[in-house]
Amino acid sequence: MNQRILFSALILFALVLQSCSINVNKVFWVGGFKTECSAGAGKMQCLNINRTENLDNSNWENFYANIKNFEFEEGYLQKIKVKETELKENKVPADASALEYELVKVLDKQKDIRTELYGQWTLIKLHDTPLNRMVAIPTMTINLSNNLVSANGGCNNFRGRIQFLTSSKISLGAVAGTKRACINKNIEPEFIEALNSIATYQIKGETLAFYDESGNKILDFIRGQRNKPNSRLHDIWIATRINQNPINRMAPVPRLEINLSEMKIMGNDGCNDYTGEIEEVSTKQLKIGNIASTNKMCRKMETAQSFNKALNQVTYYKLDGLNLILFNKENKEVLAFLKGD
């Protein structure tokens, strides 16, 4: 009899456990910037977390879930304790995680030095030697949201992925780019060779220095435009005016897609498809590199030709509601767009 009662009690206890959510407290660091990550059919900006005590390692990973009551603060590392709840199977929403997270306590908070890398930089020294001002000066843009370094060696554009980043160490994947024949005098080969050799970095004020594995200083930069671009630029835009003249809506209308994650533009000029790289972008500036396009001949090329000429003159931008207005270096409007779908 006692065995039967005990057996029934054990079954009842197992059923109760099965029907209940399981709670566990966990501790990890949250990074001071978010990175682009895949979420089903689309992309999103994910938190970065490190589950170890040693932050000087590469154990950062994307964290796809929301943390209830947690406030992300750009530029700061936060060590947090969270309650992880494993939901009952019948309470898990479709295509959602079975785990939920809620902040218990912020245990520590400190500056995330890595976020100081974000922005545009201009080279001032190569192998600790000042540059000859008669050569084309290399520049570099660091975008932590997609772990991308894009550079111009004085002629060609280059890109490399950040594979490893701590408060003092950095490692890039192979830096590769365009292969235009360069007429102007430049130091591009030496610059790219040095960029492929960086191992550590140091930021002092508005200067950034990179060192190789032996501790030799190989690149010195000074900060350029630091202001982040308006995230609303990252969209599809339909042209409404060229050089302040309304576009004929009866003809094919040019379209522009701005992708800040890939630092690219693409679209159709009303006849041909085109693509190009964004060289500089900030709260006001927008500079576009060489634009490549298909070579179809259309019955009416006037709009396409005017659009392409104007696009090559763009230096600044302004967002006004659902409108995007692009200006040349004289601050004259050259293109206007309306936000697409």
Mean pLDDT of 252-272: 91
Q: What's the pLDDT band for 9 if we cut at 50, 70, 90? A: low
Specify the pLDDT at position 101.
Answer: 92
What fold does the segment set 115-223 form as a domain? Lipocalin (2.40.128)
What fold does the segment set 231-339 form as a domain? Lipocalin (2.40.128)
Mean pLDDT of 209-236: 87
Phi, psi of 254 (to 5 degrees): -60, 145
Cα 290 to Cα 93, 100, 157, 261, distances in angstroms = 47, 47, 10, 18
Mean pLDDT of 5-31: 67
Phi, psi of 2 (to 5 degrees): -65, -40
Lowest mean pLDDT among 4-13, 133-142, 253-262, 266-275: 4-13
Which amino acid would we find at residue 221? F
Higher pLDDT pick, 2 / 57: 57
Mean pLDDT of 148-152: 90
Higher pLDDT pick, 131 / 15: 131
Specify the pLDDT at position 69.
Answer: 94
Instruction: Report angle CA 238, 317, 243 to the nearest 5 degrees.
Output: 60
Mean pLDDT over the full length of the chain:
86
Specify the pLDDT at position 91.
Answer: 57
CATH 2.40.128.270 residue window(s) in the chain: 115-223, 231-339
